[in-house]
A and B are shown apart, each in its own frame.
Chain A
């Protein structure tokens, strides 16, 4: 055990600075103890107790700085001493300014940012409602990303929001675009005159991205959370959003997105639309078009169609022209399907859809149901078609990887690709699989490297099996991920890439029909 030391004459450091440096010095590998103290009598006696009072220290005065290091051998003591002196120098140069004060509550946050008008809440569901109530009581609009908020509290919050005329986007709301700002998982899209109210997170992402990619834009994208359209919540959030868009001078076209609403809710929407004069496109996926028309909206059978319809209305294109364009692109799709089908072997029969986005999984099932028949799923359209084991595909299968059985203790699949990547390779080895279908939803809040993390897996899948890999990418070129680069990476890896989920789903249907996959 060896002690080494140094004296700095006439150097003054605050005792606390010295203690901090000593603490860091003690952590140096091989150093048993370190002391950096002024040469007072008291400090010298402490050093003596720790066997670090070297002879050379004995004559130091109160104005001299003693540096002492104890280590297991000479070499370590010497290097330890040197490192300690470096630490001391560094502490003198400490000029980093720490971060600004972080308020501990919504109340104090409001003091730090007066004029705040929106609160985003993503804490555990148990606490989210209370925070939302605080926000509403301060007259702030609110977005609740949290799920598992108790039902009675959810109703309380939505009611208060409706009473006060404030937006309550959620609970369970993953996406919103307000004043052009991406809230939650959202894409960077053009501003324009199309306003959206959506009870479907990835639905809003898909529609807003397609609209933006077609050159038009979004005035507001109001999310309501997936549970809002149920009977118990009466579409309370949806109605506030709809009324806002009807009154908003920037909004000329209104687009509504949801799974089919409860009849009572649909009626309420109808009531609100009675005095509305703006065109309304409604993608109530899977709903009877006649019902949609009866409340004064233009029915869209898919998110893609809703987006394109809205774009046409915004551009002032006639319905005739619109239908012509749709027919042309549909024919192209059928041609592509013919070619792709040729690549498949006779035993390849099934589609395996592995989804990040719940709405997209739903939409794909709605589209494919009419084209190829029964599809098994962990979120089936028909309860009879529920998968016995979500981790094991059977026949035609669509899996929503965002469901609870996959996400407990794990980040959302839009962020963490590892589960799906594994599943892709399992499906690729299954010789009965014809198509592996993947959605990739980019934008703020999601995985920053979707290209690097998925393309190699696609390439690997193409090696171990003969399945077609169809990828639908949702997003824009202004998103933080580089969309064109990603698309190219997937194509280079051997995937067929489209940028609309409905088209990609119909392509899948056409291919399977060619195989007699019904």
Chain B
């Protein structure tokens, strides 16, 4: 069961967004990597839609 696997393993987090969440986790001794995220297609809906069609989403 994937949730039980999670509970039994060391928590390793990928943080996408507010960096304060990463800092909190590091303060408590947990491993986190911060994603330097930026909006796809610069936020352009038409382009995002075209991309989705191409990526088969």
Instruction: List chain A positions with a Cβ less than 8 A from chain B.
Output: 102-106, 109-110, 112-113, 115-124, 126-127, 130-131, 133, 135, 139-141, 145-146, 164-167, 178-184, 186, 188, 219-220, 240-241, 243-244, 247-248, 250, 444-445, 480
Contact = CB atoms under 8 A, between A and B. Distances in A.
B47 interface: no
Given A181-B11, A184-B21, A119 B16 contact: yes
Nearest to A114: B12
Contact of A105 (B11, B28, B37): B37
Nearest to A110: B14
Given A116-B13, A145-B17, A178-B6, A247 B1 contact: yes
A127 B39 contact: yes
Q: Which 7 residue pairs spanning A and B have beta carbons closest together?
A: A122-B17, A244-B3, A444-B24, A102-B36, A179-B11, A109-B14, A116-B12
B38 interface: yes
Interface in B28-51: 28, 30-31, 33-40, 43
Contacts of A146: 17
A127 B11 CA distance: 25
B53 to A, nearest CB: 14
Contacts of A124: 39
Contact of A104 (B9, B18, B36, B57): B36
A176 to B, nearest CB: 11
Contacts of A122: 16-18, 21
Nearest to B23: A444
22 contacts: A102-B36, A104-B36, A113-B14, A113-B31, A116-B12, A118-B6, A118-B11, A122-B18, A133-B57, A146-B17, A165-B3, A167-B3, A179-B6, A179-B7, A182-B28, A220-B7, A240-B3, A248-B3, A248-B4, A250-B7, A445-B20, A480-B24
Contact of B12 (A106, A115, A127): A115
B30 A123 contact: no
Contacts of B25: 181-183
A104 B38 CA distance: 8
Nearest to A251: B7
A180 B13 CA distance: 13
Contacts of A220: 7
Interface residues of B, number: 35
Contacts of A141: 2-3, 6
A146 B16 CA distance: 11
A322 to B, nearest CB: 29
A68 B34 CA distance: 43
A183 B21 contact: yes
Contacts of B27: 444, 480
A117 B25 CA distance: 14
A205 to B, nearest CB: 13
B33 A109 contact: yes
Nearest to B15: A120
B37 A165 contact: no
Contacts of A188: 28
Contacts of B20: 445
A110 B6 CA distance: 16
A228 to B, nearest CB: 16
B36 A103 contact: yes
Given A167-B6, A188-B28, A123 B16 contact: yes
A14 to B, nearest CB: 28
Contact of A109 (B11, B21, B30, B35): B35
A126 B48 CA distance: 11
B24 A182 contact: yes
Contacts of B24: 182, 186, 444-445, 480
A104 B40 CA distance: 11
Given A121-B17, A141-B3, A116 B33 contact: yes
Nearest to A132: B16
Contacts of B34: 102
Most buried by A among B24, B30, B40: B24
A115 to B, nearest CB: 5
A481 B39 CA distance: 34
A130 B36 CA distance: 16
Contacts of B36: 102-104
A139 B21 CA distance: 21
Contacts of A112: 33
Contacts of B9: 115, 117, 179
B35 to A, nearest CB: 5
B22 to A, nearest CB: 8
Contacts of B14: 106, 109-110, 113, 116, 118-120, 135, 140
Given A123-B17, A244-B1, A244-B4, A105 B35 contact: yes
A247 B4 contact: yes
B18 A145 contact: yes
Given A118-B6, A165-B1, A123 B13 contact: no
A186 B24 CA distance: 9
A120 B33 contact: no
A120 B1 contact: no
A134 B9 CA distance: 21
Contacts of A179: 6-7, 9-11
